[in-house]
């Protein structure tokens, strides 16, 4: 029995691991990957002689998938938690505290925004519950249109965009409410009388539990454990992989006949692979756009006087090139114990891929200049490393949930084929793990039914 997993990112590696669990040692599980490195947009590099994540660095700890998987793989001792420090927002040329009790930056009250927005905007937010709200249950719109109409543009640019930019490498104008903020959409569908009421209803209850988690040695530790546990063969190919239906299975170039297939590829690649076998799904997947970004990680002298915050987010419209800084040594106690101070600078938003074309020296220089501006201190890197992520993150545009429903319903009749990936039900690592698990279960169940 041979199963092809096309795509060696976290979704594909989890699918391979789950297939191994279900099908046993005798199954021939093959991971087909175009890049020379497994892990996709998860990558642990090295800076100042020690590991550091150069892609995603954290996961939402209130979802169980990552922690449960770490437990299965014997990585319990790798779990680390952040120090609990809050980020700053750089707006109008100065640093502000990030507003509290927001839903992805959308406020639940006006007072939390004081100092970040002007008095007219504060008054608009405070008066919003008295304005009639027109929302059609089941509808969708971009986050910018909804929040700017109800709370004003300053709230969007200074509170919402900085947070959405960190999650999706996009802006509120490129992200839909229903896919990115499902609890808010549900509250609106239930008839919330105002956006303020909807946000308060959608917020999770207060909790002292850590919101985020990470891995002491970076995501590379999880990737290595997954690869070992999956025991899959790796085929690296630069050729355009093709998938076609065959009697009793599928034909996958360059493998030939296989019994099952998991497509754990980015949306545009999935669209191409499904073009002949599921054209409706292919068309829907082809409508999902991607955003690109670049990251500069810097090791600074340990005594560098960085702010005592987890990071600095940059509001839309500021004359800076970086969109955010993670003050890694402040955010993570295990990184704070190192001999250097670590900072990550992020560049690039949806619709602006120009930072990817800059040289490494230009990116580092931009990171140093912008970090100097927002901290007011001299920044002198001891060492730096640049990581580019072309097409790294899917954009959950308005109508995204409908697109995904179309893809999944069109793929459902295809016996032994499943899709997985960050474009489906969440860009975070927990959602990708869930996606790979679901895909593996679908393929394994189809193969079991053939035997019966």
**Residues 248-265 pLDDT 10s:** 899 998 899 999 999 999
Lowest mean pLDDT, pick from 31-35, 206-210, 324-328, 394-398: 206-210
Mean pLDDT of the chain: 95
Sign of CA dihedral 39, 365, 394, 253: negative
Query: Residue 378 is encoded by which pair of tokens?
Result: 């001299």
- Full-model pTM: 0.95
Q: In this structure, what token pair is assigned to residue 65?
A: 């998938």
Q: Please tell me the distance from the alpha carbon of residue 32 to that of residue 7, in angstroms, as a whole number.
A: 6
Q: What is the mean pLDDT of residues 133-139?
A: 96
Per-residue pLDDT tens digits for 273-293: 999 999 999 999 999 999 999
Q: What is the pLDDT of residues 357-376, one digit of tens each?
A: 999 999 999 999 999 999 99
Rounded Cα distance, 447 and 445, in Å: 5
Please tell me the predicted confidence (pLDDT) of residue 221.
Answer: 98
Q: Is the pLDDT of residue 211 over 90?
A: no
Q: Which tens digits make up the pLDDT trace of 300-321?
A: 999 999 999 999 999 999 999 9
Contact assessment for residue 398 and residue 185, using Cβ atoms and an 8 Å cutoff: no
Predicted pLDDT of residue 351: 84
The dihedrals phi and psi of 388, each to the nearest 5 degrees, come to -100, 145
**pLDDT score of 73:** 98
Q: Where are the beta strands (DSSP E) in 285-444?
A: 290-301, 311-314, 324-326, 340-347, 383-394, 417-419
Determine what percent of the chain is predicted with pLDDT higher than 70: 99
Say yes or no to pLDDT of 151 above 80.
Answer: yes
- The beta strand positions in 50-141, using DSSP E, are 50-53, 59-60, 79-80, 88-91, 94-97, 102-103, 106-107
**Measuring CA to CA, which residue among 357, 354, 359, 355 is closest to residue 384?**
359
Q: Please say if the pLDDT value at position 45 is more than 90.
A: yes
Cα 413 to Cα 80: distance, rounded to the nearest angstrom: 42
Q: What is the 3-state secondary structure (H, E, C) of 355-367?
A: HHHCCHHHHHHHH
Distance of alpha carbon 284 from alpha carbon 411, whole angstroms: 11
The more confidently predicted of residues 283 and 168 is: 283
Phi–psi pair at 85, nearest 5 degrees: -80, 150
The alpha carbon of residue 98 and the mean position of all alpha carbons in its chain are separated, in whole angstroms, by 20
| C-alpha–C-alpha distance, residues 400 and 287, integer Å | 9
The predicted structure's pLDDT at residue 237: 84
**What pLDDT score was predicted for residue 241?**
80
Q: Are 384 and 296 in contact (CB under 8 A)?
A: yes
Q: Which pLDDT belongs to residue 449?
A: 86
What percent of the chain stands above pLDDT 90? 90
């Amino acid at each position: 029995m041979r199963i092809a997993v096309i795509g060696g990112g976290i979704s594909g590696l989890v699918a391979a691991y789950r297939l191994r669990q279900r099908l046993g040692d005798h199954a021939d599980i093959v991971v087909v990957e175009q890049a020379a490195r497994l892990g996709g947009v998860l990558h642990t590099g090295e800076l100042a002689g020690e590991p550091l994540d150069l892609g995603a660095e954290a996961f939402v700890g209130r979802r169980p998938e990552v922690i449960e998987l770490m437990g299965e793989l014997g990585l319990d001792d790798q779990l680390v938690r952040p120090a609990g420090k809050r980020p700053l927002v750089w707006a109008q040329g100065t640093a502000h505290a990030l507003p509290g009790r927001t839903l992805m930056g959308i406020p639940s009250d006006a007072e939390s925004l004081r100092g970040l927005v002007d008095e007219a905007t504060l008054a608009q937010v405070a008066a919003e519950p008295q304005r009639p709200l027109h929302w059609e249950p089941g509808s969708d719109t971009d986050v910018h249109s909804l929040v700017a109409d109800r709370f004003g543009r300053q709230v969007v640019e200074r509170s919402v965009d900085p947070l959405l930019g960190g999650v999706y490498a996009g802006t509120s104008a490129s992200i839909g409410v229903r896919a990115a903020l499902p609890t808010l959409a549900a509250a609106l569908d239930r008839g919330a009388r105002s956006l303020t009421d909807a946000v308060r209803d959608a917020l999770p209850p207060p909790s002292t539990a850590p919101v985020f988690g990470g891995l002491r040695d970076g995501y590379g530790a999880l990737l290595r454990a997954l690869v070992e546990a999956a025991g899959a063969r790796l085929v690296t190919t630069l050729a355009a992989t093709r998938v076609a239906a065959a009697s009793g299975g599928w034909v996958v170039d360059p493998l030939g006949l296989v019994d099952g297939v998991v497509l754990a590829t980015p949306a545009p690649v999935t669209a191409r692979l499904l073009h002949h076998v599921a054209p409706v799904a292919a068309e829907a997947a082809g409508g999902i756009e991607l955003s690109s970004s670049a990251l500069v990680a810097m090791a600074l002298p340990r005594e560098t006087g960085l702010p005592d915050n987890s990071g600095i987010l940059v509001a839309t419209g500021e004359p800076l090139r970086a969109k955010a800084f993670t003050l890694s040594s402040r955010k993570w106690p295990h990184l704070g114990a190192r001999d250097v101070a670590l900072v990550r600078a992020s560049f690039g938003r949806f619709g602006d891929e120009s930072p990817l074309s800059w040289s490494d020296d230009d990116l580092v220089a931009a990171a140093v200049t912008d970090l100097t501006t927002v901290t007011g201190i001299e920044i002198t890197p001891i060492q730096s490393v640049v990581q580019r992520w072309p097409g790294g993150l899917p954009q959950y545009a308005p109508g995204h949930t409908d697109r995904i429903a179309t893809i999944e319903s069109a793929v459902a009749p295809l016996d032994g084929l499943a899709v997985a990936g960050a474009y489906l039900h969440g860009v975070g690592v927990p959602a990708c793990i869930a996606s790979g698990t679901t895909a593996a279960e679908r393929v394994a169940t189809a193969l079991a039914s053939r035997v019966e």
